[in-house]
């Protein structure tokens, strides 16, 4: 039996104005690492 294949979409485009931050969304930390490093 083989493993199932799946796709993932990371919604991280744009300026992140709703975050009220000067940093881009992909540089905000999640679990101690920038979002970009989780991809």
Burial of 28 (0-12, 13-18, 19+ CB in 10 A): middle
More confidently predicted of 37 and 10: 37
Model confidence, pTM: 0.50
Domain-embedded: residue 21: yes
Domain-embedded: residue 5: no
Domain-embedded: residue 2: no
Domain-embedded: residue 16: yes
Domain-embedded: residue 23: yes
Q: State the Cα–Cα distance between residues 8 and 24, nearest whole angstrom.
A: 21
Q: How many domains does the chain have?
A: 1
Res 33: pLDDT: 92
Domain-embedded: residue 17: yes
**pLDDT digits over 10-33, tens only?**
777 777 788 888 888 888 888 999
Res 9: pLDDT: 78
Which residues constitute the domain of residue 26? 10-39
């Amino acid at each position: 039996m083989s493993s199932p294949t799946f796709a993932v979409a990371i919604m991280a485009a744009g300026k992140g104005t709703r975050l009220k931050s000067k940093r881009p969304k992909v540089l905000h930390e999640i679990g101690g690492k920038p979002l970009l490093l989780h991809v």
